[in-house]
Amino acid sequence: MKILIIEDDLQMQRFLQVLLRGHNYEVVTVMTAQEGLIKTAEINPDIILLDLGLPDMDGLDFVSTVREWSSVTVIVLSARDQENDKIKALDNGADDYLTKPFGSGELLARIRVALRHSQSQNGSDVKRLESKDLTIDFSQRLIWCQDQLVHLTPTEYRILQLLANNGGKVLTYRQILEHIWGKNFIEHNHYVRVHMAQLRQKIEVNPTRPCFLLTEVGVGYRFQFEPIEP
Ligand code: CA
């Protein structure tokens, strides 16, 4: 697995390199967005770790540029003062983000999820998900929470399907709104909140402590699913 690191902070670069090489990832590091674009084309990495504050180009512009010709997984590394840019980066097509400082365990977990997602995806949608407390059969549109059949409204169902098809990946309010309600509704964050609360009531064992529909505070939602191993 090849990981391209685009980061101008040398200390952070070194930390990432040592960590990822230690876990048998092949690592290439560059300091600028320009070099990042060249390397992306050259080595076709499985994952890009992208610092948002780069010397030569906004990380946001990097994401839009790379998305014109590549579907490579992009995980954004943002500092606290780049919170808004982080959301824009996701809207522009980044797959996930981590806010600095983050732990090595967290980063490795995100990389594993991203790789699993990009390998299982290949354009096909999720058909069936099965875990201890939740089973979803998308081909029959049937959902069971703790063996009880659950009835969802069409909108709730579409949101769940959208999140499941992007399993593990954070979706911004804007992405959910645009996909479910359309471009004219991208300001209506409360639509998403209301429906998400209803969905949690129906599919979470404990809706106040959700384990499937996770909130990314100020950003959006992520669907987490640990399937039963066959
Ligand atoms: Ca930087």
Whether pLDDT at 138 is above 70: yes
Region label for 141, one of left (φ > 0), alpha (ψ between -120 and 50) or beta (otherwise) = left
Distance 170 CA to ligand 1 centre (A): 23
pLDDT in tens, 86-124: 888 999 989 999 999 999 999 999 998 888 777 665 556
Is 229 among the domain residues?
no
100 and 172 in a single domain? The answer is: no
100 and 68 in a single domain? The answer is: yes
Query: What is the residue range of 48's domain?
Result: 2-121
Residue with tokens 């540029």: 65
pLDDT band at 55 (very low <50, low <70, confident <90, very high): very high
Classify the C-alpha dihedral 24-25-26-30 as positive or negative. Answer: negative
Which of 121, 151, 183 is the endpoint of a domain?
121
Helical pair 173-180 and 154-165, crossing angle rounded to 10 deg: 130
29 and 11 in a single domain? The answer is: yes
Distance 172 CA to ligand 1 centre (A): 23
Which of 65, 97, 121 is the endpoint of a domain?
121
Distance 76 CA to ligand 1 centre (A): 11
Task: For the chain, give the mean pLDDT.
Answer: 91
156 and 52 in a single domain? The answer is: no
pLDDT in tens, 147-158: 999 999 999 999
Is 34 among the domain residues?
yes
181 or 186: which carries more pLDDT confidence? 181
pLDDT band at 83 (very low <50, low <70, confident <90, very high): confident
113 and 141 in a single domain? The answer is: no
pLDDT on residue 167? 78
Output b/e per residue, 70-107; b: 16+ Cβ within 10 A.
Answer: bebbbbbbbeeebeebbbbbbbbebbbbbeeeeeeeeb
Whether pLDDT at 214 is above 90: yes
Whole-Å CA distances, 25 to 18, 28, 217: 10, 10, 30
Distance 144 CA to ligand 1 centre (A): 46
Is 89 among the domain residues?
yes
pLDDT on residue 230? 54
Distance 9 CA to ligand 1 centre (A): 5
The mean per-residue pLDDT over the stretch 46-61 comes to 92
**Total of domains in the chain:** 2
| Calpha distance 223→60 (Å, rounded) | 24
Is 36 among the domain residues?
yes
pLDDT in tens, 188-213: 999 999 999 999 999 999 999 999 99
The mean per-residue pLDDT over the stretch 51-55 comes to 92
Cβ-proximal residues to 2 (8 Å cutoff; 6+ apart), any chain:
25, 26, 27, 28, 43, 44, 45, 46, 47
Which of 61, 96, 121 is the endpoint of a domain?
121
Distance 162 CA to ligand 1 centre (A): 33
Output b/e per residue, 114-140; b: 16+ Cβ within 10 A.
Answer: bbebbeebeeeebeebeeeebbbebee
Distance 40 CA to ligand 1 centre (A): 19
pLDDT on residue 58? 86
pLDDT on residue 166? 86
